[in-house]
Amino acid sequence: MLKYSIRKRQFRILTCKLAFPAVDLTRSIKFLQRGIAAAETHYIYRALRTAFSLRKRLQPDVIAEVIAAYNASANSQSVAACLKSALAQLQQNPAEHPAAGVCEPEVCLFLGLLAMLCLLDNKQLERGAELADVLVGVVSSAQRRTVDPIASRVFFYYSRFFEIADRLSDARPALLSALQAATLAGMKETKAMLLTLLLRNYLHYKLYDQAERLTAKSSFPADAPNNLLARYLYYMGHIEAVQLNYSQAQTHLLEATRKAPSNAATAGFQQTVHKIYVIVELLMGNIPDRSLFRVPTLKKPLQPYLELTQAVRVGDLNKFQEVVGKYQDRFLQDNVLVLIQRLRHNVIKAGIRSISIAYSRISLRDICLKLHLDSEEDAEYIVAKAIRDGVIDATIDHEKGSVQSAEVHNVYETSDPQYAFDKRIAFCLSLYNDSVKSMRYPGSDHRKELASAIEAIKRERELAQELENDDYDGDSDEDVMDEGP
């Protein structure tokens, strides 16, 4: 009897686990419908947060049954065509279901997004790309505020399908057209997503000039989510580093590391940003702090860059070339080999600076031997250029073939402390302005559709009552107003 009760309990638990995805999907759609009725996006974000938790549990047949139920009540041709395409790509033929209610574009896009995730997980790239094309058509026909959060994710996976299939250039015309439409419609999150996707597209094919023209003619939305802002800053830093704007690149890369969350989920992004950040610091003549290379998530990926930094700091040209040859494939994979090849001049400058500090007078022949240069003429040219650039304070005695270093002055008698303080003050002011902007609440123009605040409160209570009646098991301590990732 005891074994029978245990087996019966296990069967109930298994049945509940299988039924939960369909129940959770229905609740997510309720959030979407509530957000559409109230013109509130935080309901849409709540539904999107559940979508990624459903990704690992939903099966194609479950998604197909829900799509078939809403296909019977589609109120537009684009929505009906999208739902039919989703069923065709999933290769499911569910039984007929009664109409589940009016299928708004938001619900259609949400179901299509789930279908795309299912196709992506099953490595069905061609079908996923075809479904993504249909969903992009639905987005272009329904440009409104509540579509914005879902549309941004649709475009992300649209580009992702083409990137995995190594056809990223084929997605560029659709992304450019969608960027223009999103800008005119005021869809800020979609615009931010499309800008980052286009910059990634251009960087993939090394089209740095086109990427610069795109950023010059478009503005990134100020209230975009932090994850999109961090990616945008990283791409901007990469572009500016290639185009020799090292100071701006350093600023953008540093902001990208601070905007991105510092957890295990974003470790890959942090590693990618810091690789370019280290090279930009070296190109600017700075040596990155040693503590940066001791961070647990960065220690192993930045090991080649640590050896590179040590070679630049010492000014050993032979060691620098040895490190570049040893990790050339790694640097090529990280797409930073072009930047690293520019460091050769910095290595020579660092060597000349250390020689100038150690010796008050030294012959060009000795400089040639210490820096492993080809001839004394090369050493004389490099020293002359270092003096002109302000790297060292010295004079060249052409008759004796030597370099005479000037006396070391007190650094506080120069303008260097002023430049350092000015840089820190500018950073503090920028941080203060960003903090003030983040504390501002969005406008309330979209609330004019509500008759009064009392009706809004009543709707909140009705939603809470519905969730309670459905025995909702969501996160009780999670703020409903919190926007999705």
The whole-model pTM stands at 0.74
pLDDT score at 199: 93
Radius of gyration over alpha carbons of the chain, in Å?
Answer: 30
Say which residues have a Cβ less than 8 Å from residue 213's Cβ, sequence separation at least 6.
Answer: none
Taking the mean position of all CA atoms in its chain, how far away is CA 90? 30
Instruction: Specify the 3-state DSSP secondary structure of 394.
Output: strand
DSSP state of 471: T
Instruction: Specify the 3-state DSSP secondary structure of 327.
Output: coil
> CA-to-CA distance for 379 and 411, rounded, in angstroms?
27
DSSP state of 484: P
> CA-to-CA distance for 395 and 406, rounded, in angstroms?
8
Q: Are 192 and 224 in contact (CB under 8 A)?
A: yes
DSSP state of 64: H
Q: Are 214 and 199 in contact (CB under 8 A)?
A: yes
Which residue in 354, 247, 273 sits closest to 311, CA to CA?
354
Say which residues have a Cβ less than 8 Å from residue 99's Cβ, sequence separation at least 6.
Answer: 69, 70, 72, 73
Taking the mean position of all CA atoms in its chain, how far away is CA 122? 24
Say which residues have a Cβ less than 8 Å from residue 215's Cβ, sequence separation at least 6.
Answer: 195, 199, 236, 239
Angle at alpha carbon of residue 159, lines to 156 and 164, rounded to 5°: 120
Q: What is the pLDDT along the chain (485 residues), one digit of tens a residue?
A: 444 444 444 434 434 444 456 677 777 777 777 777 777 777 788 878 877 777 777 776 676 777 776 665 555 666 666 666 666 666 655 555 545 556 777 777 888 888 888 888 778 878 888 888 888 887 887 777 788 888 888 889 888 888 888 888 888 888 999 888 888 888 888 899 999 999 999 998 888 899 999 988 888 888 888 888 999 999 999 999 998 888 888 999 999 888 887 777 788 888 899 999 999 988 887 888 888 888 888 889 899 999 998 888 877 788 888 888 889 889 988 888 889 988 888 787 777 777 777 777 888 888 777 777 777 777 788 788 777 767 677 788 777 778 777 766 676 777 778 888 888 898 888 888 878 877 765 555 545 554 555 666 676 777 767 766 654 444 444 443 344 43
> CA-to-CA distance for 418 and 427, rounded, in angstroms?
14
Instruction: Specify the 3-state DSSP secondary structure of 243.
Output: coil
